[in-house]
Amino acid sequence: MDNRRPPLAPAFQSLPEYVHHWARTTPDRRAFTFVDHPAPDSRGVHRTLTWRRLDVRVRAVAARLAEEAEPGARVALLCPQGLEYVTGFLATLAAGLIAVPLYPPGLPGQGDRLTAVLADARPSVVVTTSRHLGAVQELCDRVVAVDQVPDAAARDLEPAGAEVAYLQYTSGSTRTPAGVEISHANVVANARQALSAYGADAHPVTCVGWLPLYHDMGLVLSIAAPVVRGLLSVLMDPVAFLHEPARWLRLLATHPRALSAAPNFAYDYCASAVTDAQKAELRLDGVAALINGSEPVRPGTADRFQAAFAGQGLVAETHCPSYGLAEATVFVSAARPGEPLRRFALDRDALAEGKALPARPDDPRAVLLAGCGTPAGQQVRIVDPVSGDRMSEGEVGEIQVRGPNVGRGYWNQEEQTRRVFGTDGRLRTGDLGTVLEGQLIVTGRLKDLIVVDGRNHYPQDLEATVQDTHPALRRDRLAAFGVAGGSGERVVVVAEHTRITSLAEIDVPALVRAVRAAVSGRHGVRLADVLLVAPGTVPRTSSGKVSRALTRERYLAGAYAADGAA
C-alpha cells in the first residue's frame, strides 16, 4: 500500500519555526484556545493565545530553559492540560532541548508510570505551572513554572542541540513504557500526513480535542498539525469530558469544520450519556471529521454514535477509522472524510487460521471490523511475523510501516530498537492486520494473541462477546488473556461491573454462567476463570486502553479474588 501526497507549504524544519512564521504573517489570528470548566455546571471559560502572543511566550520560556539546561538535555513536561502545556512543549523544542511529554503528579493510576519514565528519561529540568510547583519540586531540583516566566524574557534563539524533538513514551499496553525518539522531521512530516489525510490541507478546519497532550494522538492533532497549518486548536481537559461528554460535542458544534479524535469508548459514552435536553442545543452538521483510532475499530461503535446524533445533523461520512502508533509518531493509515464507512464481516474460524475470508454480516460467528483506509503518505505492508515474507491480500500478518514519520528508535534501548525499527527502515509494529479491497484492517496485537489447542483467538473478540452478555458488565472495561496451564494455555476474563450497579444487586453466578456459555458457543473456548471486579479495577494505559498485560500480571499475583470477586 502506498499513497503519497505533496508536502504542505511553507516548509520549515521544526514546529517553532512555524509558530514564528504565523506570528509574522497572521499575528492577530487565534492560535490556541483552552476551554476550562471550573465548576460542574460550567459552560466553559475560554482563554486564547494569538499567534503573536504564542510566539512571545514560546521565546520567553525557551530563553529561560536555555539558562537551565545544555542543548540536547531532556525537559519533562509536568503541566496540566492547557495553554501552559502548549507553550512549554514548543519552548522546549525552540531551545534545542528534548521534550518528554508527561503529566503532573497525582494523576490517578499513573503514579508508577510517571516514576518509571522520569527514571528512564533523566530530565535536567522540569516544566510545570505555579499550581503544581510544590509537588513537582519534590521530583526534580530544576523546575520552571511556565506562568512565572515574564514576556520580557523573550529573545530570539537559534535552535541547537539534538535532532530529537521529544521522547514519546509508549502507553504501556503490552510492555514497560519505552521512549520513542521523535525527530523534528518526524513530527512535521506526520502533521502534514494527517492534515492531508483528513482534508485539512485543502480546507481550513478547527482542531477540537480533549485527548491528553502527553499522548501521541493528542499531541500531534492538537499541537503539531494546527501549528504546521496555522489552524485554530481548541482544547479542553479530559476530566471535563469524562464529567460531562456533552461539553466536547458543544465545542464540535460551535467551531466551523471541526476535526477531532477520540478512542472507541468515548463515542459509546457520548451515545449513552448525552441527554435529549443536551442534544437539543447541538448542531453537528458542520463537523469535518471524527477520528477513531482504537484497535480494532468496530463498525458498531460508529453506528451507535451516528444513531444517537443523526438528529443533530451529524453526517455518517464524518467517521474516520484510523490506525497509528507512537513508533510512527502517531498517524499511519486513515479512512477519508466524505467516504462511507467500509465494513468487513470476516469468518472467525478462518481469521484464527490467518485468513480474512468473507462471512454473512448476520452470521453469529462473523467478526465485524471497519477498514482503516489507506496509508497517510507512507508505505504499509503485511508480512509473516516469523519469516518476514510479504503476504498476499486477505492473509493476516504483522503490519510493517516505512515513512518519514517513523521514529529513530527507543531511548537508550539499542537491542529493542534493532528488533523493532530494523535496519531497512521498516517498522515492525507488533500489530496484526490484513489488506482487503485496498483497505487496511487491523485485527489485533501479536503479543495479545491467545492460543488454545493450536488455534488463535483475539482477546478483543472474546471481550466483545463477553460484554454483550449482561447489562451489568461495563463496556470496554474488561480484559481477556491467556495464562499457562498444565495442559496448555488457559483463558481468563477479568471484567468490571457498571458504576450504577452494586455487586449486591447482581446475580454473579448467573452472570458468570452466561459469560461462559456465550464464549463457548461463539468461540469454542472454555474460560478457566471469570472475575467480576469493581469499577476502576482493570488497569488502563495512559491512552485509556485496557492493559491486558498488567491485568494478567495482577491476576497471577493474586490481586483479584476468586470467581465473582468484587
Q: Taking each helix axis from N to C terminus, what angle separates 459-467 and 508-523, rounded to the nearest 10 degrees?
A: 130
CA 450 to CA 339: how far, in whole Å?
34
H or E stretch covering 476: strand 473-485
- Which bin fits 409, alpha (ψ -120 to 50), beta or left (φ > 0)? left
Question: Are the C-beta atoms of 528 and 552 separated by less than 8 Å?
Answer: no
What is the sign of the dihedral through the CA atoms of 94, 29, 318 and 474?
positive
What is the sign of the dihedral through the CA atoms of 475, 326, 179 and 108?
negative
- Which residues touch 338 (CB under 8 Å, ≥6 apart)? 199, 317
CA 228 to CA 232: how far, in whole Å?
11
CA 246 to CA 279: how far, in whole Å?
8
The alpha carbons of the chain give a radius of gyration, in whole angstroms, of 23
Q: Which residue has the cell 519540586?
A: 137
Q: Provide the β-strand partners of residue 181.
A: 167
Grid cell listed for 444: 489485533
DSSP classification of residue 66: H
Question: Are the C-beta atoms of 80 and 70 separated by less than 8 Å?
Answer: no
What is the CA 142 to chain-centroid distance, rounded? 30
Question: Are the C-beta atoms of 324 and 332 separated by less than 8 Å?
Answer: yes
Q: What is the mean pLDDT for each group of 10 consecutive residues in the chain (566 residues)?
A: 51 94 96 94 93 98 95 95 98 96 85 88 96 90 96 84 88 69 97 96 93 96 97 96 96 97 92 96 97 84 96 97 96 96 94 92 90 95 94 96 97 94 91 95 89 86 92 92 82 94 90 94 91 91 79 89 49
What strands lie across the sheet with 143-145, from one edge to the other? 143-145, 125-128, 74-77, 98-101, 164-169, 179-183
CA of 461: how far to CAs of 203, 349, 359, 485, 496, in Å? Answer: 38, 12, 16, 22, 17
Q: Which residue has the cell 503476504?
A: 391
CA 516 to CA 528: how far, in whole Å?
9
Peptide bond preceding 296: is omega within 30 degrees of 0, i.e. cis? yes
Three-class SS of 181-249: EEEHHHHHHHHHHHHHHCCCCCCCCEEEECCCCCCHHHHHHHHHHHHHHCCCEEEECHHHHHHCCHHHH
Residue 155, classified by CB atoms within 10 Å of its CB into exposed (0-12), middle (13-18) or buried (19+), is exposed
Q: Taking each helix axis from N to C terminus, what angle separates 264-273 and 246-254, rounded to the nearest 10 degrees?
A: 100
CA 84 to CA 67: how far, in whole Å?
19
- Coil, helix or strand at residue 369: strand
Question: Are the C-beta atoms of 222 and 235 separated by less than 8 Å?
Answer: yes
Q: Return the amino acid letter for 475.
A: R
Q: What is the pLDDT of residue 110?
A: 73
CB neighbourhood size of 459 (10 A): 21
Which DSSP string corresponds to 403-460?
Answer: STTS---BTT-HHHHHHHH-SSS-EEEEEEEEEETTEEEEEEEGGG-EEETTEEE-HH
Helices (H), 490-566: 508-523, 548-556
Q: What is the pLDDT of residue 277?
A: 96
- Coil, helix or strand at residue 540: strand
Phi, psi at residue 296, to the nearest 5°?
-80, 165
Which of 261, 199, 269, 155 is CA-nearest to residue 8? 199
Q: Provide the β-strand partners of residue 366.
A: 347
Question: Are the C-beta atoms of 518 and 499 separated by less than 8 Å?
Answer: no
Question: Are the C-beta atoms of 349 and 342 separated by less than 8 Å?
Answer: no
Which of 231, 244, 240 is CA-nearest to residue 51? 231
Grid cell listed for 433: 492486520
Question: Are the C-beta atoms of 286 and 295 separated by less than 8 Å?
Answer: no
| Pairing relationship of beta strands 258-262 and 289-292 according to DSSP bridges | parallel
What strands lie across the sheet with 289-292, from one edge to the other? 45-50, 30-36, 233-236, 206-209, 258-262, 289-292, 319-324, 331-334, 374-375
What is the CA 111 to chain-centroid distance, rounded? 19
Q: What is the pLDDT of residue 1?
A: 63
CA 205 to CA 260: how far, in whole Å?
10
| Pairing relationship of beta strands 206-209 and 233-236 according to DSSP bridges | parallel
CA of 183: how far to CAs of 13, 14, 74, 167, 186, in Å? Answer: 10, 9, 13, 9, 5
CA 281 to CA 250: how far, in whole Å?
8
Phi, psi at residue 176, to the nearest 5°?
-60, 135
H or E stretch covering 67: helix 51-68
